[in-house]
Amino acid sequence: GGVVCGEVPRPCRVMLLLNPQSGRGQAQILYTTHIQRMLTEAAVPHTLFITDRQNHARELVREADLSQWDALVILSGDGLLFEVVNGLMEREDWEEAIQTPLGILPGGSGNALAASINYYSGSPYVYGEELLVSCGFLLARGLLSPLDLVSLHLASGRRVFSFLSLAWGFVADVDIESERYRQVGTIRFMVGTAVRLAGLRVYQGRLAFLPISETEEKPPEQTSTSPSSPTSSLCSSMSCGTTADTSPNHSPLHPDSTVQSNTLPSPCHPVSVKGTANHKGPPDSLLVPLDQSVPADWTVVKEQDFVLVLAIYQSHLAEDLQAAPQARAQDGAIHLYYVLEGISRPALLQLLLAMERGTHMTCGCPYLVYHRVRALRLEPLSPQGVITVDGEQVEYGPVQAQVHGGLARLITG
């Protein structure tokens, strides 16, 4: 279950974008063996567009006459939807364009949003082609939910919109380094994890965030989500065999007690989007320019040595990784996790294995910290490194972000 904000019209004219290179290069076969018949039987007329290079989908939706389409659906990994979202946000009519219903059919090696949608719908856990079939049914049902987008400002001043994650350190390195094992499909992340664990690194940087206080009014677009408690899966299982850490600093239910308030920074100093003329979108009222220190109501993390920083806004980081089981597409929150330097390899491995079932917060690991936040800033101090947004590598350097609740619409069945 989740918040439903409408349905796609019938018949629904779908622009279906397919990346033939995604995953093991099987998206076209998946289309003919599963999707074509399913959409035809469900009376969903669609036009297939096969991308022939990176950014092709982005350009197509930037130029498209959107009055001709009731939904934009991708058959690929998360990377192609990232292009579609940003193509829509680069349009003059972005405000209307980004309301075009978006759908995703998992055909890549990183299918985090598809896995999240399947999970939100209450459908049983499946992966691979079964996940594709499940997402096909949800798509045919055509129920719409609001989708939060996170606005990100990169070192160059470039602004991008993200629906899934911002990662630095271990997770980002695995994602990019595992590209070379693309031929093995989804398990490329497992292979990459083993390699990176063997050569575990520490990443220096500064991290700050604007927490969501537990007493804070829920934003207007947020109503109660699924019938099951969002934290139930955190509490129901203790798969790591250790007791949960109840110290206030490491519990998801007790955000940093030093936080005083959540008032907005002075509206006279919103972050400048000058010089990024191709980037439209709503103003980021919570951010100040990167060369100024963060507003006084932000929390600055005192530690500067990290193994990973992961800001995620969907439940799944991959088909088999529930990084934030409490997350919903429209919860108005960035779920910020970080792991501090000092964690042993076995302890990190235990966390990653627990993440398969979303039970990592019950491991009682003192190096893992979690906060629900509205905005964050990350300033890497190490001279080189990898930052990913929705699994795609972006320029390395300081980055800051704020969530915009329900900016887009997602077909969630």
Residues at the site binding ligand ADP, with contacts judged by CB under 6 A: 19-23, 51-54, 56, 76-80, 83, 108-110, 391-392
d(CA 317, CA 77): 12
Span 108-147, contacts to Mg ion by CB under 5 A: 110
> Can residue 413 be called a binding residue for Mg ion (CB under 5 A)?
no
Residue 406 binding: pick among ligand ADP, Mg ion, none (C-beta 5-8 Å cut-off by kind):
none
d(CA 44, CA 51): 21
What is the rounded end-to-end Cα distance, in angstroms, of the chain? 9
> Can residue 107 be called a binding residue for Mg ion (CB under 5 A)?
no
d(CA 74, CA 107): 9
Nearer to ligand ADP, 177 or 303 (CB): 177
Question: Cβ 111 to ligand ADP, closest distance in Å?
Answer: 7
CB 335 within 8 A of CB 313: yes
Q: In this chain, which residue has its C-beta nearest to Mg ion? A: 79
Nearer to ligand ADP, 14 or 288 (CB): 14
d(CA 218, CA 214): 9
The owner of tokens 């320029």 is: 395
Question: Cβ 108 to ligand ADP, closest distance in Å?
Answer: 2
Q: Which of 108, 85, 116, 105 is nearest to 329 (CA)?
A: 116
Question: Cβ 112 to ligand ADP, closest distance in Å?
Answer: 9
Nearer to ligand ADP, 119 or 367 (CB): 119
Question: Cβ 175 to ligand ADP, closest distance in Å?
Answer: 9
Q: Which of 52, 65, 70, 78 is catalytic?
A: 78
Nearer to ligand ADP, 77 or 358 (CB): 77
The H or E element spanning position 85 is helix 78-89
What are the DSSP calls for 229-261, one per residue?
-TTHHHHH--TTSSPPP--GGG-TTS--TT---
- Has 175 been annotated as catalytic? no
* Tokens, residue 383: 């001279």
Q: What share of the chain is helix, strand, coil (3-state, %, to 5)?
A: 30, 25, 45
Number of residues that bind Mg ion (CB under 5 A): 4
CB 319 within 8 A of CB 126: no
> Can residue 23 be called a binding residue for Mg ion (CB under 5 A)?
no
> Can residue 391 be called a binding residue for Mg ion (CB under 5 A)?
yes
Nearer to ligand ADP, 21 or 226 (CB): 21
The residue from 2, 77, 192, 211 that contacts Mg ion (CB under 5 A) is 77
* Tokens, residue 183: 């031929």
Question: Cβ 107 to Mg ion, closest distance in Å?
Answer: 11
Judged by the rule CB under 5 A, the positions of this chain that interact with Mg ion are 77, 79, 110, 391
Catalytic site positions:
78
